[in-house]
Amino acid sequence: MPRTPGHGEQYRFHFDMTKCIGCKCCVVACNEQNGNPADILWRRVGEIEGGVYPQTRRHYLSMGCNHCLEPTCMTGCPVEAYTKDGLTGIVRHSADACIGCQYCTWNCSYGVPQYNAERGVVGKCDMCYGRLTRGQEPACAAACPEDAIRIEIVKVAEWREHYRGPANSPGMPSADDSISTTRITLPAKLPADVSKVDLNQLHPEHAHWPLIVMTVLTQLSVGAFTAICCLQVFAAQSHRTAALVALLMAMLALTASTLHLGRPIHAMRALKMWRRSWLSREVLLFTLFALAATAYSATLWFGVRGTSWLGALTAVLGMCGVAVSARLYLVPGRPAWKSPLTVAEFGSTTVLLGACGADILTRGAEDARYAVFWGFILALMTIGLKLARLGRSKVHELHGSWQLLTGVFSNHLLIRIALACTGTALLPLAATTWIRITIALLMVSSEFIGRYLFFVTVVPTNMASEYLAQEAA
């Protein structure tokens, strides 16, 4: 073991690819040390290959947590479950503080944090902190028969200047996202085309149904309250029943969001880090929106006059909440999400569903039908631009999302577009309440499918996996 780090220093892993034989002793030792089930791996061994037969090469890549200088898992956590130890530089995670929101699993480009559904919390490698304090090597390093994994001390300032070469490797995301401290020794002659063995094996991500319900219904509610406020201000119309329905949608959405948490009983902890975490800001803004919407609905229900300012406040808080909700998904670990088109997608849902609400409220007024039409155009443009961006890209994760959208989920995409087109085609016939309700249901169904596709077709950045493990999946 090296000495204790001094000022401006920290521990790091050194992985020597020239020595690794892919035996996975490090993986087994890590799981035994931490008591993890077989499907949760805090250290993983992936495979990379390249070259042209008979001059082909295959190597192994073992990785735990990189204990980054700018850890994205820590900066995005809404409950401060992550801390960077001041003495050792190790990024530690507190299971007691964690609420199981899983935001860190999206934020980390390497996919290091692993969600344990049984415990309802996330966990990750802490470089066997307890063993280090006793002067022992981490379990992975101690178990490696080839001495391919070691602990070193790195000077932080120097590493910031020179990390791009030794911190990067084929089969791994760029170290630029968080400045990984892991030093990797590569073989002297790697083929130019070396890449992950599982590069072309695409798998859908989790749907996250509570988040699908939450995002679509909050955007519906925000759009509806904006329409109700505009009708009150510009048409002197008061729609108390519609406000009550919109409020119920908001409450249902916020309730559904807690079901995504591994420990929903601690949901209010998510407000803690509002100065730093976009998730905390989303929770805060939608909480304020719900309170304002409740007060506004009450004033409409009891006929209190002069409360249009409260409606405007509700609409502004709601729109800010939607914007922050979209910003929440602009994370380095999910390239297909990290685009202004995500903001446009959330915004188009708000406009379209809000316009549908206005169409019902105004009993088919011509202005409301125009609003629905332009909301549909905005949504269709967003779909087209997104497909064009993904399809033209040479980035694996972006093109992979395009392949999923136009391959495995092509029927879902076509059904989504067909539902929206059918609803728009019915607009000239929106003379009766039932037709207007039908249009709204078609549009809502289309947006639910769109949000489902948003989650399942994203391809995360990650390190290489094993070929046989991917085949089995």
pLDDT in tens, 150-179: 999 999 999 999 999 999 999 999 999 999
The backbone torsions φ and ψ at residue 345, rounded to the nearest 5 degrees and listed phi first, read -65, -45
Question: Rounded to the nearest 5 degrees, what angle is found at the Cα of 178, between the Cα atoms of 175 and 181?
Answer: 65
* pTM (2 d.p.): 0.94
Dist. CA 414–CA 79, nearest whole Å: 40
CB within 8 A of 48, min separation 6: which ones? Answer: 58, 59, 60, 61, 169, 170, 171, 194, 195, 196, 197, 464
Which pLDDT score is estimated for 471? 44
Following CA atoms 131, 132, 136, 139 in sequence, which dihedral angle do they give, to the nearest 10 degrees? 60
Dist. CA 268–CA 264, nearest whole Å: 9
Place of tokens 């409020």: 247
Pairing relation of β-strands 183-185 and 9-16? parallel
What are the residue ranges in the chain where pLDDT is below 70? 363-365, 467-473
Which pLDDT score is estimated for 238? 76
CA 126, chain centre distance (Å): 23
Structural domains of the chain in order of their starting residue, each with its CATH number: 9-203+462-472 (3.30.70.20), 209-456 (1.20.1630.10)
Which pLDDT score is estimated for 431? 78
Exposure class string for 212-222: b at 16+ Cβ within 10 A, else e: bbbbbbbbbbb
Question: Which residues are paired to 58 by β-bridges?
Answer: 49
Which pLDDT score is estimated for 349? 96
Which pLDDT score is estimated for 239? 82
* pLDDT, tens only, 390-437: 999 999 999 999 999 999 999 999 999 999 999 999 988 877 888 989
The backbone torsions φ and ψ at residue 426, rounded to the nearest 5 degrees and listed phi first, read -85, -10
Which pLDDT score is estimated for 470? 47
Question: Which residues are paired to 185 by β-bridges?
Answer: 16
Contact 378, 352 (CB under 8 A): yes
Contact 274, 238 (CB under 8 A): no
